[in-house]
Structure 1
Amino acid sequence: MSRKRKHQDHEEHIDESWLIPYADILTLLLALFIVLYSMNSVDVKKFEDMSRAFNFALNNGSGVLDMPSVIRKGDDTERDDKKEDKEDSSQQSELSEEELIVQEQAELNELKEEMDAYINENGLDSTLETELNMSQLLITISDSALFAPAQATVNTEGTELAIAISKLLEQYPDYDVIIAGHTDDRPINNAQFRSNWDLSTMRAVRFLDILLKNDSLEPERFSAIGYGEYHPIADNETEEGKAKNRRVEVSIIHTFIDKTNPQNLQVKKP
């Protein structure tokens, strides 16, 4: 009888070997859901740490979570990183520009002082003046200090002045320089110049030619322009006003100024 009972117990025993792969599947599914959830947080470091932990727990070694193709930054992370880098760069640019403004203002003020000293030493107070603002250092030269009436050839005194200015500019090579010629409203039409446009432009160019004889200056930073009679600084109804309007202006421009906008380069005078 005892043998019969043992045989029946053996027959009634349930095979539970399927529980092992079933438990493995549940564990892998749980790991998969945790991985998917963690990827939403877009934290690569935590993902890598979790990857090593799961691989060690499940396989006691390397596994699919160690594959480089799985561990990567999402598009959102890359966009966030680029955005942060751009913001940091923008802040640095703003700080750099503020520092640049302060530095340039100090340099142009120093250049103004050197130019004023030259004017005083040579008794040129009546024909030259300087003015510094937030856009430029402006050196205004009366035409009487440079040219004969209705001519564009620079005289001896004007040549010496141009050479002196060029030597001062050697110390400040990073600035753009614009030479502008101006006339009064008295019309001109002769064999050399058809209009005040021609006269003002050629006066600017001839003065620029002397500046650029200095090989230490970079020609690409210089330009010449003629305004004719259309930018007066005084009333053309008087001879005194006409004399003030006949001038050459040397503008040393701040590097942060938009030079394509002529309004930025205008100096309003009474």
Structure 2
Amino acid sequence: MSKRRREQHHEEHPDESWLLPYSDLMTLLLALFIVLYSVSAVNTSKLEALSQAFKTAFSSGVGILDHSTILDNTENNKKTEDTKRNKDKDKEKDSSKSQAALQQEEQQNLEQLQKQLDKYIEKNGLSSQLETQLNQSELLITIRDTALFSSASATVKPEAQKLATAIAQMLEGYSDYEIQVTGHTDTRPINTLEFPSNWELSTKRAINFMKILLENTSFDPKKFSAIGKSEYQPIDTNDTVTGRDRNRRVEISILRKYVEPTNPENELSVETSTVSQ
């Protein structure tokens, strides 16, 4: 009787075999949380390396606490980042050298164009009507309006049309540059049916002169623009006849393609040429 009772008592003992996988699972979860906590402040590349290590561990059976894979991947990623960083630095150096070379070449080309224009001005006795100026942003050709238009008119004079044609021929080799034509007036008001104000007059003069330049088929009209500044960008006083004469002008700007960042210590010097008769 006692033997049977002992056997029955033994059979009623619960099965505790599930404790082993349960304890393994808890150990893995604890290890996971510890690792996640330890990498909470690492950069993205290290986190990616950790993720790759977990994938390797679960797919190939490598122990989750075997950190050699993590270290190898992290080291490889670091080397990759260093290589990429060095390549980027080399590209920046090459780009900087290339930019400097292009700026130097452009400077030489614009200086050559300025000399060509100055020679034309001197040869044709136009020094009182035209001047050139090379600065850090453009080659500027300034033409007094008396050489181009009659008073209160935006129609280009016949002799001025020849001048515009000659300038266009000299600009043929620079057709890939942006060219801006700007009209300016003095402060004396105008109020006609065609020109209610100096805004309309200055803009129309710029447009009409630009149209003559564009008769040269070497140019792409997309590279051209015409604007009017009215009386608001004077270069001299409007209190004298001479000053007003200087303020009434048309400017042709050949805009640089390679402009250095603004830096007072590195600004290109302004070269203004006024050819004497």
Mapping of residues 138-153 of structure 1, within 5 Å: 138-153=140-155
Question: SS of the residue aligned with 1:202?
Answer: helix
> Residue type matched to 1:138 in 2?
L
Q: 1:87-140: CA deviations, max 9, x gaps?
A: 222222221221121111110100000001111111111101111112111110
Alpha-carbon distance between aligned partners in 2 of 1:141 and 1:237, rounded to the nearest angstrom: 21
Deviation at residue 81 of structure 1 after TM alignment: 4.1
- Is 2:152–2:201's contact at 8 Å kept on the other side of the alignment? yes
Task: State the superposition RMSD in angstroms.
Answer: 2.3
Alpha-carbon distance between aligned partners in 2 of 1:123 and 1:255, rounded to the nearest angstrom: 31
> Residue type matched to 1:242 in 2?
R
> Residue type matched to 1:108 in 2?
L
For structure 2, list consecutive stretches of 5 or more residues without a partner in the other structure: 1-61, 261-266, 273-277
Alpha-carbon distance between aligned partners in 1 of 2:89 and 2:154, rounded to the nearest angstrom: 52
> Residue type matched to 2:229 in 1?
Y
Mapping of residues 65-214 of structure 1, within 5 Å: 74=77, 76-214=78-216
Mapping of residues 248-259 of structure 1, within 5 Å: 248-257=250-259
Alpha-carbon distance between aligned partners in 2 of 1:223 and 1:95, rounded to the nearest angstrom: 32
2:227 corresponding residue in structure 1: 225
Question: SS of the residue aligned with 1:171?
Answer: helix
Q: 1:165-213: CA deviations, max 9, x gaps?
A: 1111111123211101000000001011011010000000000001111
> Residue type matched to 2:72 in 1?
S
Question: SS of the residue aligned with 1:194?
Answer: coil
TM-score by length of structure 2 reads 0.67
- Is 1:105–1:134's contact at 8 Å kept on the other side of the alignment? no
- Is 1:162–1:207's contact at 8 Å kept on the other side of the alignment? yes
1:39 corresponding residue in structure 2: 73
- Is 1:197–1:227's contact at 8 Å kept on the other side of the alignment? yes
Structure-2 change in CA distance of 1:41 and 1:122 (3 Å):
same
Alpha-carbon distance between aligned partners in 2 of 1:155 and 1:127, rounded to the nearest angstrom: 14
Alpha-carbon distance between aligned partners in 2 of 1:78 and 1:219, rounded to the nearest angstrom: 48
Q: 1:235-261: CA deviations, max 9, x gaps?
A: 100011100000000111111249xxx
- Is 1:184–1:229's contact at 8 Å kept on the other side of the alignment? yes
1:63 corresponding residue in structure 2: none
> Residue type matched to 2:139 in 1?
L
Alpha-carbon distance between aligned partners in 2 of 1:249 and 1:107, rounded to the nearest angstrom: 20
Deviation at residue 34 of structure 1 after TM alignment: 5.3
1:70 corresponding residue in structure 2: none
Deviation at residue 33 of structure 1 after TM alignment: 6.2
TM-score by length of structure 1 reads 0.68
Alpha-carbon distance between aligned partners in 2 of 1:132 and 1:33, rounded to the nearest angstrom: 65
> Residue type matched to 1:122 in 2?
N
Q: 1:29-76: CA deviations, max 9, x gaps?
A: 8xx76555433321xxxxxxxxxxxxxxxxxxxxxxxxxxxxxxx4x5
Alpha-carbon distance between aligned partners in 1 of 2:192 and 2:257, rounded to the nearest angstrom: 39
For structure 1, list consecutive stretches of 5 or more residues without a partner in the other structure: 1-27, 43-73, 259-263
